[in-house]
Amino acid sequence: MIEKNVDIQTVRRTLAGKGGKEYWRSLNELAETEEFKEYLRQEFPREAGTWGEEFSRRDFLKVMGASLSLAGLTACVKQPDEKIVPYVKAPEYMVPGKPLQYATAFVMGGYAHGVLVTSHLGRPTHIQGNADHPASLGATDVFATASLLHLYDPDRSQAVVHNGVMSSWEKFVQSAKPLIEAQRALKGAGLRILTQNITSPTLHWQLQSLLAAFPDARWHQYEPFNADNVRDGMRMLFGEDVMPRYRFDRADVVLSLDADVFGLGPGNVRYARDFATKRRVSGKDASMNRLYAAESTPTITGGMADHRFRMKASDVEVFARALAARLGVPGVAAEHLPVDETVIVALAKDLQSHRGAGVLVVGAHQPPVVHALAHAMNVLLGNAGTTVEYTDPVEQQPVHHLRSLQALADDMARGAVDVLLILGGNPVYDAPADLRFGELLAKVRFSVHLSLYDDETSERCTWHIPESHYLETWSDARAFDGTATIMQPLILPLYATKSAHELLDELFGEARSSEVIVKSFWKTRSAASDFESWWRRSLHDGVVPATHLSPKSVAMKNVSWTFTPVVSGGMEILFRPDPSIFDGRFANNGWLQELPKHVTRITWDNVALLSPATMENLNVRNGDMVTVTYNGATVKLPAWALPGQPDNVVTLHVGYGRTRAGRVGTGIGANAYTLRTSATLWRGEGATIEKTGEWYRVASTQEHWSMEGRPIVREATLDEYRVNPDFAKHMAHRPTEKESFYPPFVYDGYAWGMTIDLNACTGCNACMIACQSENNIPVVGKKQVERGREMHWIRVDRYYVGNDLDNPEMAVMPVACHHCENAPCEPVCPVAATTHDHEGLNVMTYNRCVGTRYCSNNCPYKVRRYNYLQYSDTETKSLQLMHNPDVTVRNRGVMEKCTYCVQRISAARIEAKKEDRLIRDGEIVTACEAACPVQAITFGDINDKNSRVAKLKAEPRSYDLLAEVNTKPRTSYLAKLRNPNPELAAVQPLSRSEHHG
Amino acid sequence: MAEHKHTTLVEQPEPLVSPKETYGSITDKIAGDVLSTKTPKAMMITLAITSALLLVFVLAVGAVLLFGPGVWGNNNPVGWAFEITNFVWWVGIGHAGTLISAILLLLHQHWRNAINRFAEAMTLFAVMCAGLFPALHTGRQWLDYWLLPYPNTMGMWVNFRSPLIWDVFAVTTYLTVSFMFWFVGLIPDLAAMRDRAKKHWQKVIYGILAMGWRGSAHHWHRYEMSYLLLAGLATPLVVSVHSVVSFDFAVSLIPGWHATIFPPYFVAGAIYSGFAMVITLMIPARRWYKLESFITDRHLDYMAKVMLATGLIVFYGYLTELFFAYYSGSMYERFMMYNRIFGPYWWSYWLLIFCNGVTPQVLWFKKVRTNVALLFVISLIVNVGMWLERFVIVVTSLHRDFLPSSWDMFRPTIWDWSLYLGTIGFFVWLIYVFVRVMPMISIFEIKHLLPWRGRKIDTSADAA
């Protein structure tokens, strides 16, 4: 770099303006000349390689090297003083090697999900559900568990950025304060605050006091996937701002109107749990609930359905109308029917015969009128108050998100916004395309973006402030049922980051820390006489007592129904959040990118989902690149056939095509937000799809979807089960003990085993991510997944059942190491690296493994995973902190697989030995078992006849996968049952005969 | 027929050594070719090409050592692919040498004397290539020695139940015995080379290698005895090595691998491919060095007959596999066979049937067996066919096994191909370097054949 045109005066000024200790590398840098900025840009481009490339570790290290040199630049902020003296009096609970758990909450879309975070000597290493929290009951979804990776993500924003140049918090405050003061004089007329959906009582309190001081300022909220339609529907029907909350544990008949209640959205984990309690079948005269799904794009909820009706998203309204007319909702008449009339008749009959024990749920993307219709039916059927409860909104200040953002955009376009604080979110990327939010930001004189990543919005704002991860700071949030959680940090901020509370308090208050702010708010709210013990209790439990929202009694208005006109505008287009990376906020999370998406089992990409028939019409194959043009914009992405997808409907998952997500998420997939406008936020008509002639390799983890007539997922109808409860055992020949020359090995201590209830499993992937986090499983990148080298120890297989390619039934099956008693992997290992222990575990000795892969070849379940290359990143400092110290980090050339979380078995064994007792049933909970929202996975000692696992193995539905190979697996399955309505047998014949071959 | 056996003397259609040759001319010709400073031009070209391939080989080995087996196309269901295909293929090729040296020696097949040296060298080099693959295919190649049972501080013993350990023993034994056989057989000729060498360094090298051979009656006596004993020792190895290699598959439970037919079927295949490779390499060498006097068309005819016989056994193996897939009644076995024939790798199966089932049938005709150009082409086809056979067994069985969710495709990468082509380069390079520095035909054993030349001899031994 040539030192030229350096104005010494500028340098002096700049240096004087900086606070704290300064490190600089050249005078150009201090002068912040254009040359230096250009040099910086060239030297450290944002998009320098991604993890998706082959041998990316090398690229990765290069970038890490660059980051290290940049560390000198970022040291503009004086880090807080650190004490490095050892404990004089060690806290009694701090024992090296013994992890601690703390309760806090993961927040997505504003809704809290209570979690317990495992901390090893101050490092959070694993996130699992908080059993005391109503949204969790001990389980998690993929996002909550995977949020751990964001904490340690080396791409997380680490410095304040001013117009693309590193700056400091002090400089930001210096430049912001005068502008805020100027606004104070104007009553805040030019001040706007944009947040995501806010349920945090403390943040709301802060914002309220702010708005009191600046009465003309405005607070806007926007989530790209919001509950606007639900709220509008409720207003339409009840005339007041209430929100529905479902009680699936009380419902015997469930109708889902395009709702993915178990997959995504507030309360999904709890809803799945409640639903599953009605699906636990035991004994001869067992009963179970029945799920109907009227669905457009297949979801895991539709996959669970006993009857799934495939229809366009726009036809769901017509379907709901027909049903409402049949059920006698006043003022509703049926028009044409998207399904056979017998369906409506049978459905109405089933719902009517389960008054107060049926429920209709609607997807948030369906228009308000469908919500109103469904809840009118719920009220008429007596479900209101039993299976569905109406409560005040959880949000402190519920708004119509789209209108809120539009109002802000209008103000910005008028030039009325002088100061804009964007607290979280990424509106430049995810706001409706027609608002042109990114361009409008240029009209704002002073825009601030507080976020975890230096993303698309940060780039367009004058200031970017790095946000503290939720595990680094204090906050609070409310769950889907209103229960509040005070979120406590597990670790000091890794970088000089700020929380939204701190940012607001710095600019408008007293510059207090998050802890002080949150605590002082709750001091005003807590009615307890002894606040300190109340506070500690709330923190410990992870829930604040008495914050649950009680059901309200509501009255139906006399609705004059106006329905969406039915137009046949050609190809319907649907915008849906991605099942793995949601709205794009998880784009830089390698765990989630590599997680096979619900139903499609695709990783690392978004695709244009089309029905097989539509694919034929368009003459495209899987992976053919197509352009989807809509609203004047075009995206190019691969076409993908999805059985169950309605014809002439293209579904695009958003969240891809990020330009500034980080090394993992930038530049992969196509940005479907560019097609999404305010008018067509959820769906639209008249999209055009054209074949480009290119072909693209999509990394799918499952290429074959048929069971080939093999008895893999064994299922029967409830009626068949009642007649023949052990049907699953007769679907394959099972060798008897007598067929061996040798007596069986006697396990006289513990004998570990597992059962997986296929009747409960929804295929939500929670087990996969929990396992990845617990067992230090590396991310391999798209190229390696394409090659079939993903490393997940537990996978969720998805099969289609039936002869109807267009609308097959779906069956999911989690598969991990079966810990066979006759393990085929063991005799073939030349170096005895995989052996059997006396408790029946098939154990891997990583140190001994030379990597011949023979064991994997000989495994009939193909659950062994091989480190074909050096997949584990052992060199990135921040990722080192994340590793579970109880599990070996595997290197290249080593075979690995599910261990039944042997580290947890050991921990329980140590505890039991200390107390001189046996390990209790339920004391060992494997990571997958803990995460499972529906409690499909049970682990325990099968020698203990009273253990849960032994009892489940004694169930007639229990069967061993591939028992005919005589592996004697320790993991067994409980066969799947479906509960079809006999009256619909003519419309949807059940094709299960395939399994009885 | 038996009563006529000893009395039926027939005119040899063609002698095993050309009538032009004398005791002196044989040594002059064979030793002279080695000691001559002239190298045939075609040979130089071959060496140049194979040297280039040798560099590719070095690169391919470097890549897999540096980055791991992930440079290849292997994946989760297909844990073994090219590397094990190549291993089995090379071991198979290495079978001709011992068969020719040991079994044909014990059976008094004198025609073997012209080709045994070459075939033994080929065996040695093929086994070297073969051994590389298992050594390289592990993820942590620097720990390969853990497959050897040696006393160690870890207190760890190898797992003797694993067929891979049997492989280690089988292949190393085979390599050792093959080397001994080859080297012991070379000693009298090395002494001849020592005596004829003109340059000092040549005398020293050949002298050391000749181990003091003076050609005394004692020497000859001991030589004959040890050679016979080695032949006896090597004979079971011809059968055992490939049987053990086949156990790698037969002992597993994967449909398409788990088959009792494998040991005999693999051994026949090995001999088949071994003879094909001898023909492939010998035809050009014979041409370049003008060795038609020693390696006559009759030799080629005999080798073609062995190929035909073993080829038929191999084809019978394919039919047996078909039958048992059906007869087992197992849906997994049946699907495996269906998938081989009609699945995504259908081309490999049909090409295999063409190469190994259809092509050798033309060898029923003597005109084909003695047509050098045609035989060369057929031998190449058989080599390809035998490689495909192993590919079909290894890859198509693994890529679709029990659970359809895990099914995947194997797609070879550039490193798969470069290591395979690299070993071919390495192998051919070694062969032709060997031809250049050692007598490629056993001088003294050819001389054994001279007394029979032109005479009516008992053909009963040949017919055996």
A868 contacts B74? CB cut-off 8 A: yes
Cα separation, B16 vs A783, whole angstroms: 59
Closest among A831, A617, A770, A985 to A146, alpha carbons compared: A770
Report pLDDT for B458. 46
Q: How many CB pairs under 8 A join A and B?
A: 169
Query: Residue A287 in 3-state DSSP?
Result: coil
Count of helix runs (H) and strand runs (E) in chain A: 31, 38
B-interface mutation test, from A826, A868, A869, A964, most B Cβ less than 10 A away: A868
* Minimal C-alpha gap between A858 and chain B (Å): 6
Above 70 in pLDDT, residue B178? yes
Above 60 in pLDDT, residue A486? yes
Instruction: Give A810's strand partners.
Output: A800
Above 80 in pLDDT, residue B241? yes
If you measure CA to CA, which chain B residue comes closest to A790? B76
- Of A402-411, A467-476, B262-271, least confident by mean pLDDT is B262-271
A900-953 pLDDT, tens digit each: 999 999 999 999 999 999 999 999 999 999 999 999 999 999 999 999 999 999
Chain A residues lying within 8 Å of B398, measured CB to CB: 857
Report pLDDT for A367. 92
A830 contacts B162? CB cut-off 8 A: yes
A760-790 pLDDT, tens digit each: 999 999 999 999 999 999 999 999 999 999 9
Chain B residues lying within 8 Å of A55, measured CB to CB: 67
CA-derived radius of gyration, chain B: 23
Q: Name which of B162, B402, B407 is nearest A703 (Cβ-Cβ).
A: B407
Report pLDDT for A991. 43
A790 contacts B168? CB cut-off 8 A: no
Confidence of residue B97 (pLDDT cuts 50, 70, 90): confident
Cα separation, A693 vs B77, whole angstroms: 31
Closest among A717, A901, A705, A905 to A805, alpha carbons compared: A705
Q: Name which of B73, B157, B162 is nearest A828 (Cβ-Cβ).
A: B162
- What lies within 8 Å, CB to CB, of B150 at 6+ separation is none
Determine what percent of chain A is predicted with pLDDT higher than 70: 90
Where do runs of H (alpha helix) occur along A509-589?
A: 514-525, 531-541
One-letter identity of residue A310: R
Token pair 């109103």 in the structure block, residue: A372
Q: String of b and e for B398-421 (b: at least 16 CB within 10 Å)? A: bbbbbbbbbbbbbebbebbebbbe
| Beta-strand relationship, A895-896 and A865-866 | antiparallel
Cβ atoms A842, A836 nearer than 8 A: yes
CB-based contact, A12 to chain B, within 8 Å: no
* Minimal C-alpha gap between B160 and chain A (Å): 7
Give, in degrees to the nearest 5, the angle at Cα A726 between A722 and A731.
120
Report pLDDT for A710. 87
Chain A residues lying within 8 Å of B67, measured CB to CB: 55, 869-870, 892
A824 contacts B164? CB cut-off 8 A: no
Report pLDDT for A18. 52
Beta strands in B80-212 (DSSP E): none
Chain B residues lying within 8 Å of A857, measured CB to CB: 79-80, 252, 254, 398
Cα separation, A598 vs A583, whole angstroms: 15
Cβ atoms A799, A713 nearer than 8 A: yes
Cβ atoms A701, A786 nearer than 8 A: no
User: So what's the ipTM on this one?
Assistant: 0.89
If you measure CA to CA, which chain A residue comes closest to B74? A787
Report pLDDT for A375. 93
Chain B residues lying within 8 Å of A830, measured CB to CB: 147, 158-159, 162, 164-165, 168
If you measure CA to CA, which chain B residue comes closest to A832? B159
Q: What is the mean pLDDT of residues A222-240?
A: 92
Q: What is the mean pLDDT of residues A184-206?
A: 91
A848 contacts B156? CB cut-off 8 A: yes
Compute CA distances A80 → A152, A249, A503, whole Å.
19, 50, 17
Q: What is the mean pLDDT of residues A619-625?
A: 91
Confidence of residue B436 (pLDDT cuts 50, 70, 90): confident
Closest among B206, B185, B193 to B33, alpha carbons compared: B193
Chain B residues lying within 8 Å of A846, measured CB to CB: none
Report pLDDT for A727. 87
Report pLDDT for A83. 62
Confidence of residue A20 (pLDDT cuts 50, 70, 90): very low
* Minimal C-alpha gap between A482 and chain B (Å): 41
Sheet with A752-757, strands from edge to edge, namely: A937-941, A752-757, A971-974, A958-959
B379-417 pLDDT, tens digit each: 999 999 999 999 999 999 999 999 999 999 999 999 999
CB-based contact, A860 to chain B, within 8 Å: yes
Cα separation, A203 vs A220, whole angstroms: 13
Cβ atoms B303, B278 nearer than 8 A: yes
Confidence of residue A1 (pLDDT cuts 50, 70, 90): very low
If you measure CA to CA, which chain A residue comes closest to B67? A869
Confidence of residue A736 (pLDDT cuts 50, 70, 90): confident
Residue B105's CB is within 10 A of a number of other CB atoms, namely: 24
* H or E element in which residue A853 lies: none
A892 contacts B402? CB cut-off 8 A: no
Above 70 in pLDDT, residue A64? no
A870 contacts B401? CB cut-off 8 A: no
Cα separation, A199 vs A399, whole angstroms: 12
Q: What is the mean pLDDT of residues A433-438?
A: 90
A962 contacts B403? CB cut-off 8 A: yes
* Minimal C-alpha gap between A54 and chain B (Å): 10
B294-334 pLDDT, tens digit each: 788 888 888 899 899 999 999 999 999 999 989 988 889 99
pTM: 0.86
Report pLDDT for A479. 93
Report pLDDT for A75. 44
CB-based contact, A783 to chain B, within 8 Å: no
Chain B residues lying within 8 Å of A854, measured CB to CB: 79-80, 162, 164, 248, 252
Cβ atoms A817, A793 nearer than 8 A: yes
